[in-house]
């Protein structure tokens, strides 16, 4: 007796990234960068009351700007994420919490090179 749904025959495992990008109006790189920023913002908001060092991180992150004119999304957003990480790196010496956030962001940033990689999900660096 045959099941009504055969995983090998009935599922299409192909993913057309360009088609998905058109549906939402953003590239994978932009979506990933915005997710990283959102997770960082949400983590700061959630824990800055308990960890005063995160108030300094919040100020530092809010002053972060990227100026990379004439750069397409596939290069701009990975560059922006890397520069953001470098921007907060000096603060990792101030607290263990910022160091943990920094290390967890590195995991997400690694997804720019390997889109199928699983990003960081954790208690102190919130999931989006």
Structure tokens at 86: 């470098």
DSSP state letters, 44-89? HHHHTTT-THHHHHHHHHHT-----TT--HHHHHHHHHHHHHHHHG
Contact in structure between 113 and 68 (CB atoms under 8 Å): no
Per the model's pLDDT, the better-predicted residue between 22 and 52 turns out to be 52
Domain map (residue ranges) of the chain = 16-112
How many whole angstroms separate alpha carbon 115 and alpha carbon 102?
Answer: 20
pLDDT for 1 equals: 44
pLDDT bracket for residue 74 (50, 70, 90) = confident
Distance of CA 97 to the CA centre of its chain: 18
pLDDT for 67 equals: 84
Residue 115 has pLDDT above 80, yes or no: no
pLDDT bracket for residue 117 (50, 70, 90) = low
pLDDT bracket for residue 51 (50, 70, 90) = very high
């Amino acid at each position: 007796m045959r099941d009504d749904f055969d995983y090998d025959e009935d599922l299409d495992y192909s993913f057309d990234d360009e088609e998905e990008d058109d549906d939402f109006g953003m590239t994978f790189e932009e979506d990933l960068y915005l997710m990283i920023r959102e997770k960082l913002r949400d983590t700061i908001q959630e824990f800055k009351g308990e960890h005063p060092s995160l108030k300094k991180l919040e100020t530092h992150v809010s002053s972060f700007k990227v100026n990379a004119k004439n750069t397409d999304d596939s290069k701009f957003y990975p560059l922006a994420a890397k520069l953001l990480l470098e921007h907060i790196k000096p603060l990792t010496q101030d607290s263990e919490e910022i160091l943990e956030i920094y290390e967890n962001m590195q995991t997400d940033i690694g997804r720019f090179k390997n889109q199928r990689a699983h990003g960081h999900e954790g208690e102190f660096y919130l999931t989006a």
